[in-house]
Amino acid sequence: MNAALFPDLIVNGETVPHAVVASEAQNHDAPKGKPGIAWRKAANAVAVRTLLLQEARRRGLTPEPAEVGPGRYETDEEALIRGLLDRVVAVSPPDEVAVRAEWARDPSRFRAPPLWEVSHILCACDPRDAAARDQAQVRAIALAEQAQANPRGFGKLASEHSDCGSKASNGTLGQLGPGDTVPEFEAALRRMEEGVISAAPVLTRHGWHVIRMDAVAPGAVLPFETVQGKIAEAMEKAQWARAARGFVDELAQGAEITGADLKPV
């Protein structure tokens, strides 16, 4: 292993096994062909975790795993870190004046969910089957080009070529809101404007879709009283995160670390 790209991680004299950093690296993005970047991100994350575990043990804390889901519990390490942060990080809920000021900065950020009126043409395939996926994509691209050239003929194309049951209604899916469709499809809807036909087909677990946005109804701006609790919760979480980061920075400043770079941000 290239020691320059994948250096040993040592935190206060404790050498972290390469396997631990390699496992963490799977959770970090990096440009293709540059694994060293993912490694450095992973090393920083593991270094933070190691510092917190060392501090928890120095304080004599014992793990008390909490249930995080039906029948699922924290690991001992997760419980130790949570227990430590519960003791050292304390924040106060923001008062109403601060919450109202945050809302007033841009009330349009706080809206009811949007509604989309959508039609589509589905070229069904199993995306895990490369040959079937590519074949369906070629078909979908051809249909998208036809739809772009003759927008008024979209419904006829859907009725003749779509693999979805909506072909019986010219591809119309009716009104959709957040959570009503698969995430890949919804992500495409959020980028589209009213009256637009997707220039390129959109791939989901069901196949390739040529999408027409028939109408968009942006959610109404919500009054302060409706979103006050949500804003207060978000502000408190952000304050907690800053305080936790400050605590980690303090630990890092007093630590001897090689193989990671934990500069305060």
Domain ranges of the chain: 9-92+230-258, 115-217
Which of the four pLDDT bands, split at 50, 70 and 90, describes residue 32?
Answer: confident
- pLDDT: is 29 or 95 the higher one? 95
**Sequence-ordered list of residues with C-beta below 8 angstroms from that of 8, at least 6 positions apart, any chain:** 15, 16, 18, 258, 259
CB atoms within 10 A of CB 122: 25
| 102-116 average pLDDT score | 95
* pLDDT tens digits, 191-231: 999 999 999 999 999 999 999 999 999 899 999 999 999 99
Mean pLDDT, all residues of the chain: 93
Q: What is the pLDDT of residue 2?
A: 52
| 83-89 average pLDDT score | 96
| 132-136 average pLDDT score | 96
| 2-11 average pLDDT score | 76
Q: What is the pLDDT of residue 240?
A: 97
Percentage of residues of the chain with pLDDT beyond 90: 88
Q: What is the pLDDT of residue 4?
A: 57
pLDDT at 171 over 50: yes
Q: What is the pLDDT of residue 265?
A: 46
Write b or e for each residue in 160-172: b if 16 or more Cβ atoms lie within 10 A of its Cβ, otherwise e.
ebbbbebbeebbb
Residue located via tokens 């996926």: 133
Q: For the chain, what is the largest distance between any 2 Cα atoms, rounded to a whole number of angstroms?
A: 72
pTM, rounded to two decimals: 0.68
Nearest by Cα to 124 from 78, 161, 77: 161
Q: What is the DSSP letter of 199?
A: S
Q: What is the pLDDT of residue 3?
A: 54
Q: What is the pLDDT of residue 1?
A: 54
SS (H, E, C) 73-91: ECCHHHHHHHHHHHHHCCC
pLDDT at 263 over 60: yes
Q: Which CATH number fits the domain 115-217, given the four candidates 3.40.50.150, 3.10.50.40, 3.30.1380.20, 3.60.15.10? A: 3.10.50.40
**Sequence-ordered list of residues with C-beta below 8 angstroms from that of 239, at least 6 positions apart, any chain:** 91, 94
Q: What is the pLDDT of residue 47?
A: 96
